[in-house]
Amino acid sequence: MDERVTTSQDLAETVPVAVRDLTKVYGTVTAVDHITFSLKPRTTVALLGGNGAGKTTTIAMLLGLVVPTSGEVRVFGADMARSRYQAAQRINFQSPYVDLPMRLTVRQNLTVYAGLYGVANAEERIAFLAHDLQIASLLDRATGKLSAGQKTRVGLAKALLNAPELLLLDEPTASLDPDTADWVRQKLKEYAQDRRATILFASHNMAEVERLADRVILLDSGRILEDEAPRALIKTYGRETLEEVFLDVVRGRARRLERDEVPQAREAS
């Protein structure tokens, strides 16, 4: 009888994300302040917080694009600060704030990225995604000539080229009209279900978070303030919607900043 012992290393490699005491300091500004969390396989988790809460910096460290000041990020067991290429083919990223090369056609961009991700049968994969994401008619157009909604669909195609097990998204529906945004959310939901993928996304759209997320990590000033399911978070704050919770957190922070600034202003006068 063949018996296999599950080691701690085997277990670590099945965990999509494990973050421990993660900190990032820029000069005198602490963007991310000693946060710890992990993601279970096949879950969709939202990073929520106001501007400057640390969402984008956290995602950048998860991708291995920004080196932490201290702490550790492991993706499928790989230390992303030192050996991110060990996990590179299992993850991908999409953001409307990161443009693909504008002069290349959509097809050229997707072909280049398919090569970078080591995608087998790249032409077939691009054709499949072009049909599924309704960008077949855009393949031979310059990427810089596309509308915001078209660029978002192309960016999503780029992010799905390697069929990632972990998909990281930064404001995936920013600047989109309601119909296009709804279409993108549905595609993300279908992808998570069909591929049994894990998704971590940052968003300011509370309806989007309530629709997609199994869990919300609420950041404030670089720290984790709450970590709960959306409905549990709403109940914790005694509110009707996640938007009301978000406003409580952001305005509460603004009031704290005002209180801190008043004594300083008096001392200066």
Q: At what angle do helices 106-116 and 122-132 cross, to 10 degrees?
A: 130
- What 8-state DSSP symbol labels residue 142? B
With a CB cutoff of 8 Å and minimum separation 6, the contacts of 46 are: 200, 201, 202, 203, 209, 212, 213, 215, 216, 217, 230
Helix extents (H) in the chain? 8-14, 55-62, 106-116, 122-132, 148-160, 178-195, 206-212, 230-237, 242-268
Quick count: other Cβ atoms within 10 Å of Cβ 98? 10
Q: Residue 266: pLDDT above 90?
A: no
Q: Has this prediction a pTM greater than 0.75?
A: yes
Q: What is the pLDDT of residue 50?
A: 85
Q: Residue 42: pLDDT above 90?
A: yes
Q: Residue 3: pLDDT above 60?
A: no
The chain-wide mean pLDDT, for the chain, equals 89
Q: What is the pLDDT of residue 257?
A: 54
DSSP one-letter string for 76-140: TTEETTT-GGGTGGGEEEE-TTSPPPSSSBHHHHHHHHHHHTT-TTHHHHHHHHHHHTT-GGGTT
CATH number for region 8-268 = 3.40.50.300
Whole-number percent of the chain with pLDDT over 70: 89
Handedness of CA 166, 96, 67, 202 (dihedral sign): negative
Q: Report the alpha-carbon distance of residue 215 to residue 45 in Å, rounded.
A: 5
Q: Report the alpha-carbon distance of residue 25 to residue 148 in Å, rounded.
A: 33
Q: Residue 117: pLDDT above 60?
A: yes
pLDDT band at 264 (very low <50, low <70, confident <90, very high): low
Q: What is the pLDDT of residues 208-261, one digit of tens each?
A: 898 999 999 999 999 999 999 999 999 988 999 999 988 888 787 655 555 555
Q: Which of 135, 63, 54, 56 is nearest to 96 (CA)?
A: 56
Q: Report the alpha-carbon distance of residue 226 to residue 26 in Å, rounded.
A: 24
Q: What is the pLDDT of residue 255?
A: 57
B/e letters for 125-136, b = 16+ CB within 10 Å, e = fewer, are bbeebbebbebe
